[in-house]
Amino acid sequence: MLKAFLPAQHVKSIYEIKPSDLKEKGIKGIITDLDNTLVEWDRPLATPELITWFEEMKRHEIKVTIVSNNKEMRVKSFADPLNIPFIFRARKPMTKAFKHAVELMGIQKEEAVVIGDQLLTDVFGGNRSGFHTILVVPVAQTDGWATKLNRKVERRILAWFRRNGKLTWED
């Protein structure tokens, strides 16, 4: 059961995810969380470094769709200036938004990765939907109130993975 929470890959930041590595694996699209994955949960706009990362993905013909559990206004105000499609109130870890994101990008499930900072929403939802999942270290050390609850559960799951030799990375 806990295997569903184990990401296929782990990186310290999205900037470690290179388009050349994705292309090598046949990846044509990224489904990414927004808050504490791309930017801090309370940062309204993309950083210059993030804009460059998006542009690099676009240059390599890798599509990006933001899938967030947050409200429309939060996700829209972040994604619209970047011209990036998005799904708000995604209800992750439910699978519907992940499937919809693939449809929006016009690619197959096997051609997409799911990137996020939470085991209980991003990784679990991506794994349940059959995607390659990449867990990133949260951008900020603080979280919104709902996420704080998830983090407590995540720490227990990660501790279990660690005790049972399932983790192949350092904290």
> 90 lies in a domain?
yes
Give pLDDT tens digits for 27-53.
Answer: 999 999 999 999 998 899 999 999 999
Considering the domain boundaries, does residue 170 fall inside one?
A: no
Domain assignment present for residue 107? The answer is yes
Q: Looking at residue 68, which CATH number applies to its domain?
A: 3.40.50.1000
Enter the tokens of residue 168. 């192949």
Query: Looking at the 3D structure of the chain, how many domains does it have?
Result: 1
Burial of 3 per CB tally in 10 Å (0-12, 13-18, 19+)? exposed
Residue with tokens 């206004």, as numbered in its chain = 73
Give the mean model confidence (pLDDT) for residues 45-64. 97
Residue 153: inside a domain, yes or no?
Answer: yes
Residue 51 lies in a domain: yes
Provide the CB-side half-sphere exposure for 36 (13 A, CA): 19
Euclidean distance between CA atoms 68 and 51, whole angstroms: 18
Across the chain, which distance is largest between two alpha carbons, in Å?
44
- The domain containing residue 75 runs over which residues? 2-163
The reported pTM is 0.91
Asked if residue 168 is part of any domain, the answer here is no
Q: How far apart are the first and last CA of the chain?
A: 23
| pLDDT digit string, tens, across residues 68-114 | 999 999 999 999 999 999 999 999 999 999 999 999 999 999 999 99
Cβ burial 9-28 (10 Å sphere, 16+ → b, else e) = bbeeebeebebeebeeeebb
pLDDT tens figures, 18-28: 999 999 999 99
Residue 31 lies in a domain: yes
In a domain, 169, yes or no: no
